Structure 1
């Protein structure tokens, strides 16, 4: 299986080869710098930064890119192997299909923690409902832990998946089945929760999964208008710092955090405004709970439908992108970075033809999950796997677009799992001939 993992990893890295350098994102510089400069970013935990530092060997961002592609290939190989799909050409065909028809290679080629969302969901779904050999678990357990820790939205997503998996097992076969699922799936998310709390408590003095999550929530509520309604009534009595700047607040998600530096300085930055943001969040919920729930639902639905692949592969300006960190820590690669297709704006055009079928294929995957769930509703493994992946997609939409900001990258990061899972189920459960290299077990 190891040769297929390596081959699959090489296949999945093709956008980076075409680009001439690993793809970057606006936060790539933050991810590079946290461990190397010894700080914890207020919008991102340090675990993905630790992954980059452990795999770049102080030499190159090609190391983390290849590591990501190999990890993705390893999880795919485990999924195929546990389903009995072990022929080399079947696995190669799967990797080629994923490389051409889904967002996975674009995620694997980019230095962003969003890559790990699909890995976390698929690994946890397999741990909960897969028919796994011991070596499968030895691969999935550490990969799942890393994937859950990589992004602060992954911890609540993983915990929600565990609860959902237990509920599915209970509904299918009773309490004993639910407990068995929890024994398999719960330890990794719980360990991730403890690690996240411990790191934030020691590093920032704030024992929480998302230490500055109040700021993101307050910005979301301001954009939705629910917090503005609350502040119109509360400001005369509460005297919040932001009250003097309500006329300056632009519409649209969390834009005030990134595009209004003067406003951000006036309200004190993230450290000073975090407590006030928490009061605004609680006050807004108490003032208009139905409005908050309605906005959450609307934003979550919009996020679920946002599936474009190419949103985050635009050129990143030299002053606010990762270039200064690349120049500092990988100076020998700066010329390759500057000459890359992404930095010249060419990659957006390159992804266009792929995106035109990525989106309908992703929707076909969602339809396929529903069809598999209906067709094999009495099969606890298939029904559990499909239901859990669908619920994870809903949870991902609520945790990102619903609570932060609707962005295409938040849906695209999970879209490939929505396609891969029903295809895996069909190949696994349909009674095809052994000569095709497919499992015939029901």
Structure 2
């Protein structure tokens, strides 16, 4: 009788696992299914074109461009399938290393994330954003919980984290920052941060950088980093008024191309770099990159207090910029043009999608997503702070600390260099919601264990 009950329980668990394995990825891709085509964004076209154009473009990873090219014949559904399955795998792996692995729990937490965060929207999109949050979780498991996973899982995580780092410079910078903090605090924390795990995690950054350099060389013939750092930083300084002030202070003594336009500069970096501005007239990045770098470096040295104040303000604004859907509703002419030019067989399907018929509106979605994001950020900081106060080094405290640092690092890197954008916040803040749900599951599990053990 007991054996029959055990067999039935195992059969039920097996069915639950298979149900979760099928249902969760499908729900993660529900926005794309509803749309009738993978979701696109302003930047998608720049990544798609890397395979075809054979030269480097600012802030457009060739590694991610190659990844998209691999899925072209499937109308990019292969890419979305990889993104959904990677999400499911890392979610369940995180639950497993925290001793919370139950199919019902995985389903409940996944459904909560799908219903209240940007996760299904970024999983359904042809953009690097899905890898920003997943790579933080992957790095945590790889560094902190290596003893709880198999050798095969460890190496898959290694490759995944390295690939994620190579897809976007901001993601690489966040992961690098987390590793640096790990090395800095390890002398005080000791055993909770294994040396071998931290070394392996740090090597993912090296591997990601090598992957990007190799892809750049393969596609462009240049052994060089993806360009655009100075241009993006220049744009943020322009937006803060620093560039205008520098030109007014120095145009009398310095022969700069932008001097004739010093009183006509657009109000935002996006208007300057991607709108129809004097940036186009002066040759875009090819014509202005050196000058933008010159001004950015000189302005940093000349106005240190102003720069520090602007950086703090940008970081704070980025922390509060978490709405879903930026750059993916409305007209996306560059991305449309790239698909029409290089993948014309897909043009009809793309234009038939709901997104391209202006049926994508995130107003109602963000009435849920934004409050949940703010509450999650507050709660994850509280979880970390409580752990520090009580001098606890349990897995939830360490994960909450990792996510808190990742959120702060992401806000500082993206806000200070690129300027605050909702997209940069939405792509990573969902992991704070995930940690809060894990903490709640851990607390409920501990309570149930106490009740079972009570006389």
TM-score normalized by structure 1?
Answer: 0.89
1:167 aligns with 2:184: yes
Residue 15 (structure 1) aligns with: 31
1:164-243 alignment to 2 at 5 Å? Answer: 164-173=181-190, 177=193, 179-197=195-213, 199-200=215-216, 203=220, 205=222, 207-208=224-225, 210-243=226-259
- 1:284 paired with 2:299, answer yes
Residue 364 (structure 2) aligns with: 353
2:387 to 371, 376, 393: 376
Q: What CA distance in whole angstroms lies between the structure 2 residues aligned with 1:48 and 1:70?
A: 17
CA distance in 2, matches of 1:294, 1:380: 36
Residue 328 of structure 1: CA displacement? Answer: 4.3
Instruction: Give the paired residue count.
Output: 430
With over 3 angstroms needed to count, the CA separation of the structure-2 counterparts of 1:177 and 1:84, relative to structure 1, is: closer
In the TM superposition, residue 388 of structure 1 has moved relative to its aligned partner by 1.6
Q: 1:345 to 1:257 in 2, by over 3 A?
A: same
Alpha-carbon deviation of 1:288? 0.7
- Taking a change above 3 Å as real, the CA distance of residues 166 and 426 of structure 1, as seen in their structure-2 partners, is farther
Residue matched to 2:356: 343
Residue 426 of structure 2 is aligned to residue 412 of structure 1: yes
Map Cα deviations across residues 219-262 of structure 1 (whole Å, 9 max, x no partner). 2112211222222222222211111221221112342111125x
Query: Would the alpha carbon gap of residues 62 and 329 (structure 1) be closer, same or farther in structure 2, given more than 3 Å must change?
Result: farther
| Superimposed CA distance per residue, residues 279-325 of structure 1 (whole angstroms, 9 cap, x where no aligned partner) | 111110111111111111101110110111122321224xx232233
Change (3 A) 1:61 1:180: closer
Q: Distance in 2 between matches of 1:17 and 1:434?
A: 41
Give, in whole Å, the separation in 2 of the partners of 1:383 and 1:85: 15
Alignment partner, residue 47 of structure 1: 63
Change in CA separation of 1:201 and 1:220 when aligned onto 2, cut-off 3 Å: farther
Aligned to 2:286: 271
For 2:217 and 2:344, the matched residues in 1 are separated by 34
Equivalent in 18, 26, 34 of residue 42 of structure 2: 26
Structure 1 residue 362 and structure 2 residue 373: aligned? yes
Q: How does 1:254-269 map to 2 (within 5 A)?
A: 254-261=270-277, 263-269=278-284
Answer whether contact 1:168 1:178 (CA < 8 A) is retained: no
Residue 38 of structure 1 pairs with residue 54 of structure 2: yes
Given that 1:40 and 1:204 are in contact with CA atoms closer than 8 Å, whether structure 2 keeps it comes out as no
Structure 2 residue runs without a partner (length 5+) = 1-16
Aligned to 1:347, what secondary structure does the other structure show?
coil
8 A contact 2:323–2:366 mirrored in 1:
yes
In the TM superposition, residue 111 of structure 1 has moved relative to its aligned partner by 0.8
Q: 1:346 to 1:163 in 2, by over 3 A?
A: same
